[in-house]
Amino acid sequence: MHLPLWINFVKIRLILFTGLAIMTVRAAALPQPARPPRSWTVVNFLPGDFKEASLKNLAPAVFPGGVFKVEDSSRPAVLASGEIETVFPFDELLLSADALFPDGGSLEAEAQVKTRAGWSPWFSFGRFDTGSARASVKGQDNPFGRLDVDILRLTEKAASFRYRLTLHSAGGAAPVLRLAAASYTDSAAPYLADDATERAAGFKPLKLALPRYSQMTQQVNYSGDICSPVSLSMAFASLGLKAGPLETAAAVLDSAENIYGNWFLNTAHAGSRGLYSFVTRMNSLEEARAFLAAGAPVIASVTFGPDELKNAPLKKTKGHLLAITGFDAKGNVIANDPAAPDEKTVERVYDRKEFAAAWLRNKYGTSYVLAKDLNNFLAVKGRVTELYSMPPADAAERARLIESQLLANERVELLEVSGAWARSRAVEQRSLSADGKTLAPYEGWLALDALAFSLPLPPTAVVRSKTAGGEDLSLGVKLRVIGRSPAGARVLLGDGTTALLPEKNINQLPRKDEAGHLRARILDTARFFLGDKYYWGGRSAWGIDCSGLVNLAYRAWGLDLPRNASDQYTASKRVSREELKPADLVFSSDGAKPKSINHVMIYSGGGKLIEATGDTNSVREVSFKEKFGADLSKLKHGALVNGKKIFFGRVLK
């Protein structure tokens, strides 16, 4: 497909988080400056993430148990990724990988980078072994850079990389590969304290229950060196695994360096215990909070000088690891710090800005994430995917079983997997739950290959034109802007790309618009679809149904409504016919079932309605009289008109 010159696609993996108010009333916010993050993390753990990889002695595993299993345990197995182009040029790279070894084995991770000079040699990040031969690799210096134990530091910035994983079995049951991750950094990018410490709208305190272990109480002469495995053992316990601090320390010792804090070895050990674990570099405290909210402990690496992190058990450190357990009501960081002199004093509360400086500024947010699953960190990676009530067997069943559509970047929570299908929650589409009182995410089945790992980042823009990005992005797609120029806004997408979009195609998020302005813009947006065919279950630029039209017309202006007509009615405020304003909603139900709302329309003023309707198989703007055969001016809320009950609702002030 030919793409306009202003589109530049880059292969990555990511995700976006949303949470916007329904009613807004003030002047629209102007676009704010946007900057690329200092670091970015790629996480591959879904079968579709490895389509471009080359495989040797590996066969597909049954997901979610893993992605590949070793075919012949007597021979090494190798996975080499395709070239991964990065969001921005980088000069530091960290790798991590997870594999299960039922009867023992080892895992080696390597990476190559591509600069103007071409591809570098392979750099080894070390070899994890379930026995005792765990070690980093020394002497890896060349013109491209050097491997500093577990960080690749480059002499010149690179624009892409690839990784290679080698598994060896100790015999018996075959090892299973579960995850590969890479985190890269532009070390010259500025630290932005306000961005790093900003609290998200609707911030709430939270705290994970981790036991309190002190490294200083361990009866060994190396107790001062085991902050990483002690933190890891606290995280293990919170996730239901038994492993004492010294047992964990023995399992992660880097025999080449005689250290316990090798990041690749620590995460590989956690992965061998059946967890998902990877090294990442975060850019904000809110990213950490999102992982914690999903029950995933975060182990952070900090550096600070005297008086730079008050209440710390250490006066200063060039490198120390601790477990972030939560945030208090003020947004300050709650941590289990293993450097405390005893278990009673392990829990500490650190000032938000001071901790951000020690972790995010000084250490680029370097951390381990541990989780039983990554089900809460997924998003749609294609331009649109369909949600079904059950997995369809053929095209006829697809038309019958479709419930909704999910746009690129939409958040998804994975519930279960059956072959190529994933039962999921559409987090950004709410519907009435079984209790008939509360709104909850829509549930259904979608293609597993439609999903990708997503980082916990809030969107800062939404597509306002019917399509954008060479018609690859639908109205309503939420994005994160990472840069602005006269040519437009550079945005991150969920399918592993970035794009440069004209500012006229997007709206800033969150928005604070005057209600009258919003009403006019919502109507303009709904009119994009006039003349289009009606599509049952449609909620995209390429197909729309009645409630999908309402949902997208409002979503493009920062207002999140439920998915279905009945749920939109539940979420709206009842108004009389005399109170109707443009962009208010008109609902209908069959007279025999007055409580079962089955259609929604947008009031466009002057007695007219905009609707997507199966009656004419189209989207149209029509008078109320033409639609229902009655004069709107004579009706009341709940009136019966030619077999239809009519109701009026409002979601704007």
The rounded Cα 84 to chain-centroid distance in angstroms is 19
| 603 DSSP β-pair partners | 609
Mean pLDDT of 182-190: 97
Domain locations along the chain: 46-185, 193-336, 515-650
Mean pLDDT of 492-497: 69
Going from the C-alpha of 653 to that of each of 23, 500, 582, 602, the distances in angstroms are 7, 34, 12, 16
Say which CATH class 46-185 falls into.
Answer: mainly beta
The pLDDT of residue 202 is: 83
**Helix (H) or strand (E) run with residue 278 in it:** strand 276-281
* 174 Cβ contact list (under 8 Å, min separation 6): 69, 70, 71, 73, 102
d(CA 148, CA 125): 9
Structure confidence at residue 207 as a pLDDT band (50, 70, 90): very high
The pLDDT of residue 11 is: 33
Count, residues in the chain: 653
**What pTM was estimated for this model as a whole?**
0.90
Structure confidence at residue 573 as a pLDDT band (50, 70, 90): very high
d(CA 264, CA 262): 6
Mean pLDDT of 624-639: 94
Token digits of residue 123: 């750099």
Pick the CATH number of 193-336 from 3.90.70.10, 3.30.70.270, 3.40.50.970, 3.20.20.70: 3.90.70.10
Whether residue 30 has pLDDT greater than 70 = no
Whether residue 393 has pLDDT greater than 80 = yes
Identical fold for domains 46-185 and 193-336, yes or no, is: no
Whether residue 496 has pLDDT greater than 80 = no
Tens digit of each residue's pLDDT (9 = 90 or more) over 42-93: 999 999 999 999 999 999 999 999 999 999 999 999 999 999 999 999 999 9
Structure confidence at residue 3 as a pLDDT band (50, 70, 90): very low
d(CA 285, CA 293): 12
Whether residue 527 has pLDDT greater than 90 = yes
Whether residue 577 has pLDDT greater than 70 = yes
Mean pLDDT of 538-549: 98
Tens digit of each residue's pLDDT (9 = 90 or more) over 513-522: 898 999 999 9
Mean pLDDT of 275-303: 97
Mean pLDDT of 166-171: 95
Mean pLDDT of 622-640: 94
The pLDDT of residue 23 is: 35
The pLDDT of residue 358 is: 99
Structure confidence at residue 483 as a pLDDT band (50, 70, 90): confident
The pLDDT of residue 595 is: 87
The pLDDT of residue 494 is: 64
- The CATH superfamily assigned to 515-650 is endopeptidase domain like (from Nostoc punctiforme) (3.90.1720.10)
The pLDDT of residue 209 is: 96
Cα dihedral across residues 293, 299, 304, 308: positive or negative: positive
Whether residue 18 has pLDDT greater than 60 = no
The pLDDT of residue 8 is: 32
The pLDDT of residue 455 is: 81
Query: What DSSP state is assigned to residue 359?
Result: I
Average pLDDT of the chain is 92
